[in-house]
Amino acid sequence: MKKVSSTEEIREFINSDMAIVYFTGLDCGACEAIKYKVEDIIKEYPKIEACEISGEKYPNIAAEFGIFSLPILILYVDKKETIRTGRNVSMLDLEKDIDRYYNMIFN
């Protein structure tokens, strides 16, 4: 995932057909574990854009996106927020949802 530090950079990612914006904490074990699992999942989907931003380092940006706890993953499909999930994410369900949307858009 590409690390970003501004709302403008996030909006660039959101403007793609499919994008993941991942809000993470600085010293958060759950954040790191989920990040690595998501990165493994999206390796199979080369057209998905993904970025990561520290919600602790940039609290104003996190608040702008309605993020008040970490970690939070947001999947945008066709510039619209489609999935928002946090610490208790089911990786199997997330992968199924990503696969379904990816196939609808790109196949």
Q: What is the pLDDT of residues 70-106, one digit of tens each?
A: 999 999 999 999 999 998 899 999 999 999 999 999 9
Tally of domains in the chain: 1
**pLDDT for position 104:** 95
CB 72 within 8 A of CB 23: yes
Q: What is the mean pLDDT of residues 60-70?
A: 96
**pLDDT for position 87:** 84
Domain harbouring 29, CATH code = 3.40.30.10
Supply 3's token pair.
């690390």
DSSP letter for 40, please. Answer: H
The domain of 55 spans: 2-106
**pLDDT for position 52:** 97
The whole-model pTM stands at 0.94
For every residue of 4-19, DSSP letters joined together read --SHHHHHHHHTSSEE
Q: What is the pLDDT of residues 24-53, one digit of tens each?
A: 999 999 999 999 999 999 999 999 999 999
